Every structure is written in C-alpha cells, then in structure tokens.
Amino acid sequence: MLPAALMGIDVERFLLNAKEIADECQPYIEAGKNPGFFLGAVLGELYETGQDKLTFFVSSKFSSFPQWIEQLVAESTGKDGKGILPICDEEFSPVSSYKNDRIFVFIRFENEENTKLDSFAAELRKAQKPLLIFELSDVYQLAKEFYRWEIATALSSVVLKIHPFDQPDVQFAKILAGESLKTYKENGKLPEEVVSISEGALSLLDMTGQFSPNETISSALNKFLSQADEHDYVAIMSFTEYGEQVAKSLQSLRNKIVNKYPLATTVGFGPRFLHSTGQLHKGGKNNGLFIQITSETKNDIEVPGQGFSFGVLITAQAQGDFNALRNKNRKVISLHVTGDLVEAINALSL
C-alpha cells in the first residue's frame, strides 16, 4: 500500500472497501450471498463443463486490472493438467465465432455510457453465453474486486481439486534457464539453437523437424497454427523490449491469428508472464500453441557481479521456457528478430 499512499490514493477509503467485501465473504455467510464463494463456485463448475477461457472486457479506466487477475488465476489453477485461462485485451469478435469454452467477464462503472459493451452484452445474452458483470460505483471499489477474485480463485481451485499455492513449473523453467547461464559462464556463449528457416531479419527455431528450410516463415506459421484443435489457444510470448509500438505490433499479429483461425489468444511479455500464464502453459491442459519471439538486446549492460549481461539473462530465460515447454510436449516455435523488431513483427503474414 505504500506506493498507493505515495501516489495520493486515499488508503483508508480503499481498505474500507476491502473490509466491506471481506465481511461479506465470511464462512458463515450463505453461499449464494457470499460474493467470493459464488464466483469461485461458478468458475469451478463452468470449468467442469469445458468452459475454461475467462475472457475480460473492462472499462478503460482500469484496463490493466485483468492482467492482475490473469496472474492470480493462471498461476493458481494451471497445474496437474488443469487450469482456467484468462484472456485479456482481446478485441471484440462476432459472438458466433466464439466456441462454447468461453466465460465472459465485464468489469465496468455503474451507469457508464459504453454502447459497445452494452451491445456486446446483449448479443452474448441472446446467444446464451456465460456472462458475469461487475459494476463499480467508483475506482476505490477495485479493492472489493481484488478481494473477490482472491477468494474466488482459491475456491475454484477446490472444485478443480488442485493446490492453488503451488507453482512447480515456474521453478522448472528457472532451473533450465540456470543451465543455459552455466553454459555461458563455462564457454562464453549460450547453448546454440537450431535454426529451421532464415528469412531476412527473421529466423524460425524449431526442434521437431516439421519445417523445410525452403519454406517461408509465413507458410511455417500457417502449418504450425493449422495443428490447432477447436478448443486450443495460441499464446504469443515476447521476450523482447516492452514499448507501446511493440505492444501494438503484437496485438496486430494476434488479430491476424484470430481472423484466420478463430482461436482464443493471449499475449505476454517475458520474463513477466513466466510467473502467471507461464505456470499454466506448462502445468495446465496440453491445448496451447506457443509462439515465442526473441530479439537482439539494445544498449545491453552487465548484471553486477554475475559474469553475464541482462541481454544474456533474458535470452537464457527464453531458452529455459522454450525447453520447459518442449519437455512438457507442448507445441512451440520461436521467432528470433535481428533487425527492427516492430517492422519484423508487422511484416509477418498468415
């Protein structure tokens, strides 16, 4: 809460909102009137019927809030071959294009004028899609949502019969990244990666031998994505610099995938996502197609006292995640960019 206080947020008001919902979530409160229990039961029971993709649409005032829920839900439930997949920042698609594996969540202000959300909600109801709407009277009520989702995540994990506070596959990827760093310290370079296709500033890395060196990156991507089953999802994992233009280019790639292959999609920046969806990628259902993107590090600097740079570190983390996914028999490819990152991503076609 210290950063919030330093930003001028009324911490007492925020915490009073949290206390209000905490009182409503006490064990003696009837299940149907207990907001945390109710949400957890809904998520758990819908998961049991195959609805495991938790899709968020929220007011622009708190557009980043679903990313916090993403970390909470994905890391807590994504293990033992199970897991609820949060979908954040996906653009609206025709309701008819959504499979029956979605749960839709709207978080918005009361009496907010949002014609797009209202229209989309009406279409979802008409199509009888699961829809949960949480309305806030002001931004301080986000405190209630923090608490609600924490309780709900723990309780949905009970329904899934998993341990919400365990993260075995996060540690596994760390171990493999550590092995790459050990190789670097011993040999002065990271383990060499197998390049399947080189095309201008792009190289495609693959360990399955499914692509011919004469193929284009575009044809290889299409071949890779065509493996998807109806209820699979595509995860774009970017171990690159974070910036507005990079994020826009990744969103553009995401839209190209959705338009050609009507699949659920996620976008994550590494290494941040390793502690959220990264656990679910490796510990959850084997129904993901993973596209890793790496790039050269600009203005690289040394990690003090470690014998390697931050650029080497993030590359080792990418290698660790790639190898962990392969070890778990996941479908994964890696695209490495040597030139302009945004230009290279925007040039990808399907």
- The pLDDT value given to residue 213: 83
CA–CA dist 44, 327 (Å, integer): 28
Q: Which residue has the higher pLDDT, 329 or 1?
A: 329
Question: 62-117 pLDDT, tens per residue?
Answer: 899 999 999 999 999 999 999 999 999 999 999 999 999 999 999 999 888 888 89
- The pLDDT value given to residue 258: 96
- The pLDDT value given to residue 4: 87
- The pLDDT value given to residue 31: 86
- The pLDDT value given to residue 29: 93
- pLDDT surpasses 80 at 193: yes
Question: 2-54 pLDDT, tens per residue?
Answer: 888 999 999 999 999 999 999 999 999 998 899 999 999 999 999 999 999 99
Q: pLDDT tier at 211 (50, 70, 90 boundaries)? A: confident
Q: 349: left (phi > 0), else alpha (psi -120 to 50), else beta? A: beta
- The pLDDT value given to residue 344: 95
- pLDDT surpasses 90 at 168: no
Percent of the chain with pLDDT over 90: 83
Least confident of 90-94, 118-122, 208-212, 281-285: 208-212
Q: Computed from CA positions of residues 131, 148, 24, 107, in that sequence, does the dihedral angle turn out positive or negative?
A: negative
User: What SS3 state is found at 208?
Assistant: coil
Domain ranges of the chain: 2-160, 168-347
CA–CA dist 345, 236 (Å, integer): 11
Angle at 332 between CA 57 and CA 199, to 5 degrees: 105
- pLDDT surpasses 80 at 339: yes
Domain 168-347, CATH class in plain words: alpha beta
> Tokens 């986000």 map to which residue?
142
Q: pLDDT tier at 305 (50, 70, 90 boundaries)? A: very high
Q: pLDDT tier at 327 (50, 70, 90 boundaries)? A: very high
Q: Evaluate whether 2-160 and 168-347 have a shared fold.
A: yes
2-160 maps to CATH 3.40.50.720: no
Q: pLDDT tier at 206 (50, 70, 90 boundaries)? A: confident
Question: 242-290 pLDDT, tens per residue?
Answer: 999 999 999 999 999 999 998 999 999 999 999 889 999 999 999 999 9
Gyration radius of the chain's alpha carbons: 21
